[in-house]
Amino acid sequence: MKNAGLLGHPLGHTLSPVLHEKLSRFMGEPIEYKKLDFSPEELDAAIPSLKKLDGFNVTIPHKLNIKSYLDELDESALKHGAVNVVSKQNGKYIGYNTDCIGFVRCLEGAEVEIAGSVCVVGVGGAGRMFATECAYRGCQLTLAVRKQHVEQFRKGAHKDLQELTEKLTRISGKEVQVVSSEELSGDFDLLINASPVGMFPNTDAMPIPQGALKGVQAVFDCIYNPRETQLMKAAKQAGCRVCGGMPMLVWQAAAAQEIWYGKRFTQEQVEQVLQEMEEVL
Name the pTM for this structure. 0.86
Q: For the chain, what are the domain ranges?
A: 2-98+247-280, 111-243
Quick check: is 22 catalytic? no
Write down the CATH superfamily of domain 111-243.
Answer: NAD(P)-binding Rossmann-like Domain (3.40.50.720)
Letter string b/e over residues 66-87, b meaning 16 or more CB atoms within 10 A of that residue's CB: bbebbeebbebbebbbbbbbbb
Give yes or no for residue 60 having a pLDDT over 80. Answer: yes
Domain 2-98+247-280 and domain 111-243, same fold? Reply is yes
List 2, 22, 34, 63, catalytic entry: 63
d(CA 59, CA 125): 8
d(CA 155, CA 157): 5
The neighbour count for residue 17, using CB atoms within 10 Å, is 17
**Does residue 183 sit in helix, strand or coil?**
helix
Model pLDDT for residues 76-129, shown as the tens digit of each residue: 999 888 899 999 999 999 999 999 999 998 999 899 999 999 999 999 878 989
State in words which class domain 2-98+247-280 has. alpha beta
d(CA 154, CA 139): 23
How far from chain centre, in Å, is Cα 208? 18
Residue 175: its H or E element: none
**Is residue 58 a contact partner of residue 85, using CB atoms and an 8 Å limit?**
yes
Residues in CB range of 279: below 8 A, 6 or more apart = none
Letter string b/e over residues 130-149, b meaning 16 or more CB atoms within 10 A of that residue's CB: bbbbbbeeebbbbbbbeeeb
Q: Give the Cα-Cα-Cα angle 211, 191, 154 (nearest 5 degrees).
A: 85
Model pLDDT for residues 183-240, shown as the tens digit of each residue: 999 999 999 999 999 998 999 999 999 999 999 999 999 999 899 999 999 999 999 9
d(CA 14, CA 37): 11
pLDDT band at 281 (very low <50, low <70, confident <90, very high): confident
